[in-house]
Structure 1
Amino acid sequence: MKRAVLTSAFAVFLLGAGMSVAAEPVDTAQTIIQDQIAAFLNDDAAAAYSFASPQIRGKFPDQDIFFEMVKRGYTPVYRPGNFAFGRSKVDGDTVVQEVLISGPDGKDWTALYSVVRQPDGSYKINGVQMLQQAPGPEI
């Protein structure tokens, strides 16, 4: 009887552990996205830039240039009214995260974030595709 209870408890533990491992990249990606949006809202270029992947930093080698690019080309991300996480997909070392955003002009947008695991195990934002629709296409 004790053995059956212990075996059941261990199986539940393994099942729970497996689910948390599967959700971890998505949770990490969502935290990074939320923290970067907070940095934009606080006009903190250094913090916002810290979440950019090496590939993005290669295209925008200065935090001020990066920040200006986001201000001009990604206004709903730079100054969201409200935002919520939608669907997500993990494909190897990449998390594609849908973010539903109300822009400052009141229009609804879908931002598809690509968040990539780096060689050191951290995750960085590797790109954002903006779509003026909510929700976006199948991911």
Structure 2
Amino acid sequence: MKTLFRPASICAAVLVALMLSPARADEAATARAIIESQINAFLTDDQAAAYSHAAPSIKRIYPDEGRFFDMVKRGYQPVYRPGNYAFGRVKIAPDGSGVVQEVLIQGPDGQDWTALYSLERQPDGSFKINGVQMIKAAAPIT
């Protein structure tokens, strides 16, 4: 009886994993689209569009678009004016409440960075950016 139960359990686990995969892929794609939209807003100096992707916790700290935009310009220059960027690894919370997306960015000065974007699911089901951690890449060994 145990030998029949194990293959059935394995099949069930695989089916559950396959059923969950599209949702996870959708969450990752959504996170990338939000980040890309915000970066494009920074590149075109569209304060309203950039601010629209900020989570309520960020909007409490920066209650208007101008202050938020100035903070990004001063403290997140590689995000504000990236030379190039590419999406890296993504981690999705098991309960779907949040996403951390790695973005490899070259700043306007040519310096490479890793930006870790943290997005949180909102009560309406959408995701908003609630923080970005910037990690400066080590200088290449010559």
Fold conserved (TM > 0.5)? yes
How many residues align? The count is 122
In 1: Cα distance, 2:50 partner to 2:83 partner: 18
1:101-134 C-alpha deviation (Å, 9 max, x unpaired): 0000001000000011001101000000000027
Is the counterpart of residue 121 in structure 1 residue 125 in structure 2? yes
Measure, in 2, the Cα distance between the counterparts of 1:85 and 1:101: 9
- Asked if 1:24 corresponds to 2:26, the answer is yes
Equivalent residues in 2 for 1:10-49, closer than 5 Å: 18-49=20-51
For the aligned residue pairs, the C-alpha RMSD in angstroms reads: 1.6
What is the deviation of 1:24?
Answer: 1.2
Structure 1 residue 17: Cα displacement = 5.0
1-side partners of 2:83 and 2:19: how far apart? 36
Cα offset for 1:19?
Answer: 2.1
TM-score (norm 2): 0.81
Structure 1 residue 95 corresponds to structure 2 residue 99: yes
- Aligned position for 2:8: none
Unpaired runs of 5+ in structure 1?
Answer: 1-12, 135-139
Q: Give, as a single letter, the amino acid of the residue that structure 1 aligns with 2:46.
A: D
Structure 2: gaps spanning 5 or more residues: 1-14
State the identity as a percent. 61
SS at match of 1:105: coil
Aligned to 2:86: 84
Larger Rg: 1 or 2? 2
Residue 73, structure 1, aligned to residue 75, structure 2: yes
For residue 61 of structure 2, what is the aligned residue in structure 1? 59
